[in-house]
Amino acid sequence: MTITCINDLQRLAKRRVPKMFYDYADSGSWTESTYRANEADFAAIGLRQRVMVDMDNRTLRTKMLGEEVAMPVAIAPTGLTGMQHADGEMLAARAASDFGIPFTLSTMSICSIEDVASVSSRPFWFQLYVMRDKDYIGRLIDRAKAAECSALVLTADLQIIGQRHKDLINGLSVPPRPTVATVLDLATKWRWCAGMLKTKRHTFGNIAGHVKDAGNLSSLSKWTASQFDPSLSWDDIKWIKDRWGGKLIIKGIMEPEDAELAVQAGADAVIVSNHGGRQLDGAASSISALPDILAAVGDRTEVHMDGGIRSGQDVLKAVAMGAQGVYLGRAFLYGLGAMGEKGVTKSLEIIHKELDTTLALCGLRDIHDVDTRILRPGTYPLASSQSGAEAARESRRRVPHDPLGTTS
């Protein structure tokens, strides 16, 4: 099969990954309207083609949180990555490290912090879910420090879990329960089964052996129901930041008020994110929420985003609107499920190639020169405080450094 885009990897992953784990990655909550909006709102943004400009010697290199990256992209924290493919977190981390972008490990990973640290160099970031057991959380933070993670990503939007109908229908569990439906499905996924037989990593690596009576967890829902802390508040950030002592990213910001509170709490970056449409169905798409967050705090902290990134063009659109970095979730998971580590590398190559080609066709050579001038006016969302007249003037303005040699 010739792989030309992320959708090709998605189709292959669907054939090779057990249904309950493919659906876990490829689903949203309730009606999945926010999940669909994440992609649709990116697709609605138009680009401006430029010609007869110097497109030679292009570069996508930049920095995220002060660390050099090959492109303004990081791997998002995704739970159960090691159920898309055996040792999935380790394979994805190694691919990201070789490519020169950050890998972010989820608290709810199959491979442990220590597993991933053994195969990945920096940037290696760790994503933290805050549980009721604060002693465990403190030790988890300490483990991330010992693994030399250079940033802690605190997820703020999963105090309670959204209702994900596909997970309920499939009876999602880790490891999978041997029901008739599961056994019949696994019988058609021989590559996946062969990989799982070769690894010892079949449950939550950051939890098993580190929490009393947590070594034999049979389902994600059981753990989340008992341990995710619904009382988590901004007052908790201080002890987390003090215990961590390093750079802190707060993920799950969708409103300017929360962005302000995140900056006040000491966030070095915020991620505009609706959890991939997996939490509050009916929430805005991430790309449509980005302008208001940038208007509120963009001059005081880095603003990143995730949700709906399926191509290099999507990356460029987000950067043009002001994001200093974006995160790949499903895009890399499809590659992992399709072809393991090679699939993750392939997904990154696709994103990089599409980003580079689109940058050139928009008439630019350096990712740092990208702004809204490359977007077709009227197709991209604006900050709610920006009137139509102001928006028109903004899109036509001449900036001091204009590599295009013209105004929009």
Q: Where are any strands of DSSP class E within 197-301? A: 247-253, 269-272
Residue 400's pLDDT is 38
For residues 327 and 75, the answer to whether their CB atoms sit within 8 Å is yes
Spatial CB neighbours of 16, under 8 Å, sequence gap ≥ 6? 189, 191, 192, 337, 338
Give the DSSP H/E element, type plus range, for residue 21: helix 19-25
Residue 213's pLDDT is 61
Spatial CB neighbours of 331, under 8 Å, sequence gap ≥ 6? 6, 9, 309, 310, 347, 351
* Residue in the block written with tokens 């159920």: 83
The conformation of residue 372, written as its DSSP 8-state character, comes to: G
Token code pair at residue 57: 């010697």
Spatial CB neighbours of 235, under 8 Å, sequence gap ≥ 6? none
Give me the helix-helix angle, 330-361 and 88-99, nearest 10°: 20
Residue 225's pLDDT is 61
175 upstream amide cis, omega within 30 of 0: yes
Give the CATH fold of the 6-367 domain: TIM Barrel (3.20.20)
Residuewise pLDDT in 10s, the chain (408 residues): 899 999 999 999 999 999 999 999 999 999 999 999 999 999 999 999 999 999 999 999 999 999 999 999 999 999 999 999 999 999 999 999 999 999 999 999 999 999 999 998 879 999 999 999 899 999 999 999 999 999 999 999 998 889 999 999 999 888 888 899 999 999 999 999 999 999 999 988 999 888 776 544 454 446 556 788 889 999 999 999 999 999 999 999 999 999 999 999 999 999 999 999 999 999 999 999 999 999 999 999 999 999 999 999 999 999 999 999 999 999 999 999 999 999 999 999 999 999 999 999 999 999 999 999 999 999 999 999 764 444 444 544 434 344 454 433
Residue 249's pLDDT is 98
Q: Which pTM was predicted? A: 0.93
Residue 347's pLDDT is 98
Cα–Cα separations (whole angstroms), residue 348 to 69, 85, 87, 88, 325: 13, 17, 19, 15, 15
Residue 208's pLDDT is 83
Residues with catalytic roles: 275
Residue 223's pLDDT is 56
User: Residue 404, by phi and psi: left (phi above 0), alpha (psi -120 to 50) or beta?
Assistant: alpha
Instruction: In whole angstroms, give the CA distance from residue 60 to residue 71.
Output: 5
